[in-house]
Structure 1
Amino acid sequence: MTEGYHIYDPRMRPMLLMNAAVERIATGFRWAEGPVWFGDANCLLWSDIPNDRIMRWWPTGEMDVYRAPARFTNGHTRDRQGRLISCEHGGRCISRTEYDGRVTVLVDRFENKKLNSPNDVVVKSDGSIWFTDPDYGIMSDYEGHRAESEIGACRVYRFDPASNTLAVVADDYERPNGIAFSPDERFLYVADTGFTHREGGPHHIRVHEVIDGVRLGAGRVFTVIEPGFADGFRLDEHGNIWTSCGSGNAVAAFAPDATPLGKIDIPEMVSNLCFGGPKRNRLFITATTSVYSLYLGVRGHPIS
Structure 2
Amino acid sequence: MGIGRGLLVRESPSDGRSAILSRQRDERCHHRVGPFQCFGRSWSIRTSDPELSTHLDACYAPMRSSDADDRSACFSVLTPDHGRGGVWRDDIEIAVSADPGTLVAQLFWAVNRHVIQPVQDRVLLHAGAVARGDAVVLLPAAMESGKTTLVAGLLDTGLAYLTDEAVALSADGLVQGYRKPLSLDPGSWPVLPHHEPELPQRLKHYHRDQWQVLATGFTDVVAEGYLRLLVFPEYVADQPVRLEPLSGADALRHASSCAFAVEETSSGIRELRGLKNALTDVPAFRLSFGRLDEAVATVRRLMAAADDA
TM-score range, shorter chain: under 0.3
The structure whose residues are more often strand, as a share, is 1
Larger helix share, 1 or 2: 2
Rg (Cα) greater in structure: 2
TM-score, length basis structure 1? 0.25
TM-score normalised by structure 2 residue count: 0.24
